[in-house]
Structure 1
Amino acid sequence: MRIDLVLLCLAYVLSQFFRAFLAVLTQVLETDVGATPADLAFASGLWFLVFAAMQIPVGAALDRVGPRRTSALLLLIGGGGGSALFAMATTPLHITVAMGLIGVGCAPVLMASYFIFARMYPPARFATLAALMLGVGSVGNLIAAYPTAWAAETIGWRATLWVLAAISASIAVGLWALVQDPPKANGTEKGSVLDLLKIPALWLLFPLMFVNYMPAAGIRGLWIGPYLSDVFTLTTSEIGQATLVMGVAMILGTFCYGPADRIFGTRKWVIICGSVVGAVALCGLAIFTDTSALRSVLLMSVVGFCGAAFPVLIAHARSFFPAHLTGRGVTLMNLFGIGGVGVMQFGSGKIHAAIAPTDSLLAYQTLFGLMAGLILLGALIYCFSEDRMD
């Protein structure tokens, strides 16, 4: 793999880390800054929504100026600056603003690599390469689990964030120096996201793209911490171990989904089967919410494994994109995928805050049941899509 793709992968490790590390710091942030689970849900949701909103300008920038400048500048300002602001936070508002800024910094890194794959590699290999990048980058999920809990207890969460600020800035400098922009598409065609929205086939993919990553990212990125703490009284260290298990499951799911379309000769039914299994696991969490911590962790791991269809869904959509709109196309799909998580984080925080004061158990049952219903609805609409292979 080229050195610039290795650096983009490292940047994506940071992106995966930042979307998931709040779950491990739930207790210390409540103690030190007064941030409640609802505050952290809002901050996490803002990260996802800012990340999603940035996909439109990022897509245009990838097509016009290329991945080098787009990824390097945003990661330096957003990733490095946001981490530094988080390290100095004294109120929940500071955390919220910092998470929004970090969302800006993380927005281009995965799509920059997908843009390079789409422009410089055979179309039939896109899903496998995209899954490889996603899977290796998901190591950030693991670092955001037990190692982060250990770092927070050893050197403190503020020092940990300062280290992350330095790492983000260093990788950004490396991206500026080493990323190679692919040649621009042949021809003089011009277009915008509006042209992509005129493609009827994509509208049957958007709903599942919106909800597919929602349960895995929402639970792993936030709710696994408060849930295991409130229902089973697990410690920060134990929650870190649980998130580590779920993070490994998400990585394994990514690697399994990647080549599955070529193995089975279908993208559509691979995604549908995974979605149904994930919905069944969510129903299990809603029914057996307080019976066993081990069972709950295993069910959440199944949700994480099955929620890793992201690269195959993008590969399916990419088969409908005109070449000159590749950057806008992959970022449009990412907008739906990440935007869905942001909407759920905002909504789930309000649902939890409304129900938990009177019945904490019912609050989590409601969240898991809602996620299951949304996945099944998205999969039902997706059943009518055109199954297309490259």
Structure 2
Amino acid sequence: MNLGIFLLGTAYVLSQFFRAFLAVLTSVLETDIGATPDDLAGASGLWFLAFAAMQIPVGWGLDTFGPRRTAGWLLLAGGGGGAAVFALATAAWHIDVAMTLIGVGCSPVLMASFYIFGREYPPARFAVLASLMLAIGSSGNLVAAYPMALAAELIGWRAALWVLAGVSALVAFGILSRVRDPDPVEGEESGSLLALFRVRALWLIYPLIGVSYAISIAVRGLWIGPYLSDTFNATTSQIGTASLVMGIAMIVGALAYAQADRLISSRKWMIIGGSVLILIFGGVLITAPENSLLLSAAMMAGTGFFGANYAVLMAHGRSFLPPALIGRGVTMLNLFSIGGVGILQMASGRVYRAALADGAAPTEAYVAVFTLLVASLAVGLAFYLFSRDSPSG
């Protein structure tokens, strides 16, 4: 791993951090600038929608300008600039603007890494390198939990955001100076988006990949904080710890899925089994939301573990792609995954707000959110049941 790849990995750590850090700032942002949990749900959703909307332009940018300029300039303007806007926020809509900019800034970093892996390394090493990059980036989820909560307590959330703006800018300048663009390949055959949608085997995978990651990141990135605070009077430290445990569960789950993919012959039924367990954990949160903080935290950690099936779902979809469509196909699958998170994040905020407007207690409003998430996963799984299997290993 050279310095350029290391810097892209660091940028992906920032990307993972920014998609999850709002959960531990819920209370302080409501106190300081009046940003309610549903405001933050919308802001988090905008991050994912901006990220998803950028996937096709990012693909074009990688082919036209290369990963160095595409990732470097977008991270500098979006990541660094967005974090600075966040640090200056005095109203909830300022956070909307900040998170949208940050989503744009984070959108190219993982695909830039994959682009380099596909161009510079033998095909047999691609899966290993991609898995390593995902593992490195997942540490951003951990930093977004207890360490961010501690930083907010010690130096204040505004100072913490200024530090993040500076780090984002430094990483961006590093990418611009140290990442080397792969040599262009002459006469390369490429496919169109229209040809991609003719691959019917993907049609029944899109719905599940659009909601599978969404349920984990919605809980981990947003609702775990306000739910534990309002239902169990959890402290910032307790919320940070629960978030940290769920983040670790998501990392371990991703590694477990990768290992299971080598041992279980049916990729489809492995994914179905994990999804069913998530439905069970969600059912516990819906039916026993006030039982105990430990039980709720355990159910959320279980959701994170079994919801870490992104790489396996991507592998399932990729198995149906002809060579000329692999790049566009993987990007499209990623678009559905991230776009689904954004839509579900925003929808969860509206459900929460509507429940409170109807006179529901805070815990009942969270039950409504969990019901939305579980129902969405059930619908995606219903489509996926009729998908074509692809062998693991």
TM-score (norm 2): 0.94
Contact kept? 1:17, 1:140, Cα under 8 Å: yes
Letter in 2 for 1:57: P
Contact kept? 2:4, 2:179, Cα under 8 Å: yes
Deviates more, 1:135-144 or 1:109-118: 109-118
Give the ranges of 4+ consecutive aligned residues of structure 1 lying more than 6 Å apart after TM superposition: none
Corresponding residue SS for 1:356? helix
Contact kept? 1:9, 1:137, Cα under 8 Å: yes
**Identity of aligned pairs, percent?**
58
Contact kept? 2:75, 2:168, Cα under 8 Å: yes
Q: CA deviation at 1:125?
A: 5.3
Letter in 2 for 1:72: G
Letter in 2 for 1:179: V
Q: CA deviation at 1:197?
A: 1.5
Q: Determine which of 372, 376, 379 is the counterpart of 1:377.
A: 379
State the partner residue of 2:144: 144
State the partner residue of 2:86: 86
Q: Distance in 2 between matches of 1:351 and 1:300?
A: 19
State the partner residue of 2:111: 111
Contact kept? 2:348, 2:372, Cα under 8 Å: no
Please tell me whether residue 224 in structure 1 is matched to residue 224 in structure 2: yes
Contact kept? 1:75, 1:168, Cα under 8 Å: yes
State the partner residue of 2:63: 63
Q: Distance in 1 between matches of 2:139 and 2:98?
A: 22
Q: CA deviation at 1:89?
A: 0.7
Q: Distance in 1 between matches of 2:229 and 2:38?
A: 15
Contact kept? 2:52, 2:339, Cα under 8 Å: yes
Alignment of 1:25-174 (within 5 A): 25-121=25-121, 123=123, 126-174=126-174
Q: Distance in 2 between matches of 1:103 and 1:284?
A: 32
Q: CA RMSD in A?
A: 1.9
Q: CA deviation at 1:256?
A: 1.3
Q: Distance in 1 between matches of 2:186 and 2:76?
A: 31
State the partner residue of 2:237: 237
Q: Distance in 1 between matches of 2:119 and 2:131?
A: 16
Please give the per-residue CA displacement for 1:79-120, whole angstroms capped at 9, x wherever unaligned. 010001111111111111000000000111112222333444
Letter in 2 for 1:82: G
Q: Distance in 2 between matches of 1:175 and 1:206?
A: 32
Deviates more, 1:375-384 or 1:116-125: 116-125
Contact kept? 2:212, 2:307, Cα under 8 Å: yes
Contact kept? 1:62, 1:327, Cα under 8 Å: no
Q: Distance in 2 between matches of 1:189 and 1:49?
A: 30
State the partner residue of 2:369: 367
Alignment of 1:301-312 (within 5 A): 301-312=301-312
Contact kept? 1:283, 1:372, Cα under 8 Å: yes
Corresponding residue SS for 1:234? coil
User: Do the aligned partners of residues 145 and 219 (structure 1) sit closer, same or farther apart at CA in structure 2, a change above 3 Å counting?
Assistant: same
TM-score (norm 1): 0.95
User: Do the aligned partners of residues 127 and 305 (structure 1) sit closer, same or farther apart at CA in structure 2, a change above 3 Å counting?
Assistant: farther
Contact kept? 1:279, 1:376, Cα under 8 Å: yes
Q: Distance in 2 between matches of 1:116 and 1:322?
A: 20
Please tell me whether residue 297 in structure 1 is matched to residue 291 in structure 2: no
Please give the per-residue CA displacement for 1:114-136, whole angstroms capped at 9, x wherever unaligned. 23334444556544443332222
Q: Distance in 1 between matches of 2:177 and 2:102?
A: 22
Q: Distance in 1 between matches of 2:81 and 2:64?
A: 25
Q: Distance in 1 between matches of 2:126 and 2:284?
A: 34
Letter in 2 for 1:62: L
Corresponding residue SS for 2:203? helix
Letter in 2 for 1:114: F
Corresponding residue SS for 1:270? helix
Q: Distance in 1 between matches of 2:330 and 2:182?
A: 16
Query: Which ranges of structure 1 fall in alignment gaps of 5 or more residues?
Result: none
Q: Distance in 2 between matches of 1:383 and 1:9?
A: 35
